[in-house]
Amino acid sequence: MMRVENVVLGMCATNCYAVFDGGVKTPGGYADDGQIKDAIIVDPAADAARIENMVVHYGLRPVAVLLTHGHFDHMSAADDIRKRYNIKVYAGISERAVMTDADSNLSMPFTGGSMTFEADEYFKPGDELMLAGFRIRTIAVPGHTIGSVCYYFEDNKVLFSGDTLFAGSVGRSDFPTGNAGQLINAIRSELLSLPDDVKVFPGHGESTTIGYERVNNPFMSK
């Protein structure tokens, strides 16, 4: 059974997720067989040491990093993590220009320092990935940034939405390459078309479901 754990990192309180097969779920939690488990790290925001602590705590072996978009507060520890575990970082091809520009990725305006990053593998929107035993559909959701993506684990009904969709809100669109109209259109056409019981894990804040956001998110009625 898929298990999702997270640690909140950095100045923007970003959710960094570990995704892995957690074994059999029981009333008291998960029945852990003690085996090392392959894991995907989503948005290693900052503080690689805390991510490594999460890896050790749950007995994980990271096999890949997924970036939902290229803002510094979602990828600042990506280079450290890929080097530590000798793994690849994946990102959408349309986001490369954001990741590699210190103004567009917000590292310069927010921290006063210049940070840029190159992924190891860039995919096209709609491409399917197979990582850690999971089938992952990449969904293009421009609006927060031009190349923002969500990762949909269709077999598990889990979506990692980055800064596109939040519990009761949506991402900002006033940053470089952002566009409010594109953001709302992408959410309505690409995300709200998913089943109601899909669980959504956003880049910041608490998890939610597609069904709840369809009915209750105030931005969806505008």
CATH number for the domain spanning 104: value is: 3.60.15.10
Residue 156 sits at φ, ψ, to 5 deg, of: -110, -5
Q: What mean pLDDT value characterizes the chain?
A: 95
User: What is the domain extent for residue 216?
Assistant: 2-221
- pTM score, two decimals? 0.95
Can you tell me the distance from the alpha carbon of 128 to that of 124, in angstroms, rounded to the nearest whole number? 9
Q: How confident is the model at residue 27, as a pLDDT?
A: 58
Can you tell me the distance from the alpha carbon of 165 to that of 23, in angstroms, rounded to the nearest whole number? 29
Q: What is the longest distance spanned by two Cα atoms in the chain?
A: 49
Residues in the chain: 222
Q: How confident is the model at residue 127, as a pLDDT?
A: 98
User: HSE of 54 in the Cβ direction (CA atoms, 13 Å)?
Assistant: 24
> In the chain, how many domains are there?
1
Average pLDDT over residues 195-209: 98
DSSP tag of 66: E
